[in-house]
Amino acid sequence: MYTMQDYKSNVKPIFCPGCGDYGVDASMLKALMELQLDPSNTVIVSGIGCSSSMPHDFKTYGIHGLHGRALPLAEGVRLANTELHVIVAGGDGDGYGIGLNHLIHAIRRNLNITYVVMNNEIYGLTTGQASPTSGMGHITKSTPFGVIERPVNPLSLALAAGATYVARGFSGDPVHLTNLIKNGILHKGFALVDVQSPCVTFNKINTYEWTRKRVYKLEEAGHDPKDFMKAMEKAVEFQLNPEKFPIGLFYEADVPTYEEQEEALKQGPLTKHQLQSIEDVKALLEEHSVL
């Protein structure tokens, strides 16, 4: 039986004291342990940002990749070996700004990947510029007169793109968040877990107190996560009523994954396929007039 120490590395997290990402880190650790995932069969992939140091915190395989490129890396890992549990850790700038195009296509492919996004509505690592999810009017280093762009809504965007698991958690409620991450890992297909993760250093608006005054749990409100239209309604609720901030599972659907439909992957993980001989490769190239 695996214990916490089987998953936690000797590397200490580098977040600022009080950062919401500590709660996400702890929830991820607990989720892995409660699921008893084999650390040697688990991969955590990240891009760049405060949140993206997470692969260093765990005794799993990990890749600390390029800014906005965590998802294509994770897709490559998953396609190469479909027996691996692939988890992506990122932030709102990494995933909803620089990597937004990758997010849309990863969603529509529906690969079996869990994407945990620590959304603090600011660029924390680069010391406080507006991010794609910063609210209008937010004064930051890059917007001294306030943000004039409408923020990205990752939940409604994911639903519109065809996501099969869409959830939002709050790092100030790690028990609830742990369950969302666990169920995202267990979900068959692409799972997005957006996390309200306050930046205590650079975002003085979307704080723990701000969130706690507005947050409520969908499961306690009787929400049906199988109802797509209700999910979309809840996803945009905060835009229509800034005093209501739902967390929980917005939507889940049972849809065939990319791996289940790809002919080559139906024969098992690519890492276990028999390699072609030189003669076979030459014959293939000659057949297609390459040689």
Assigned domain for 27 exists: yes
Partnered with residue 64 across adjacent β-strands are 46
pLDDT reported for residue 17: 95
Beta strands in 31-84 (DSSP E): 42-46, 61-64
Amino acid present at 51? S
Partnered with residue 116 across adjacent β-strands are 89, 193
3-class SS at 153? coil
8 Å CB contact between 129 and 123? yes
Tokens of 155: 């939940």
pLDDT reported for residue 290: 58
Query: pLDDT means per 10 residues in the chain (291 residues)?
Result: 95 93 97 97 96 95 96 96 97 96 97 98 95 96 96 98 98 98 98 98 97 98 98 97 97 96 88 80 81 52
Tokens of 135: 């609210």
Q: How far apart are CA 86 and CA 100, in angstroms?
A: 19
CATH number of the domain encompassing residue 50: 3.40.50.970
Assigned domain for 288 exists: no
8 Å CB contact between 69 and 110? no
Number of domains in the chain: 1
* CA gyration radius, the chain: 20
pLDDT reported for residue 222: 97
Using the Cα atoms of residue 185, residue 187, residue 192 and residue 198 in order, give the sign of their dihedral: negative
8 Å CB contact between 170 and 157? no
What range does the domain containing 145 cover? 4-264
Assigned domain for 281 exists: no
Assigned domain for 276 exists: no
Phi, psi torsion values for 167, nearest 5 degrees: -140, 160
Output helix, strand, coil percentages for the chain, rounded to the nearest 5: 40, 15, 40
**DSSP run (H or E) holding 249:** strand 245-252
Assigned domain for 82 exists: yes
Assigned domain for 274 exists: no
Assigned domain for 280 exists: no
Assigned domain for 62 exists: yes
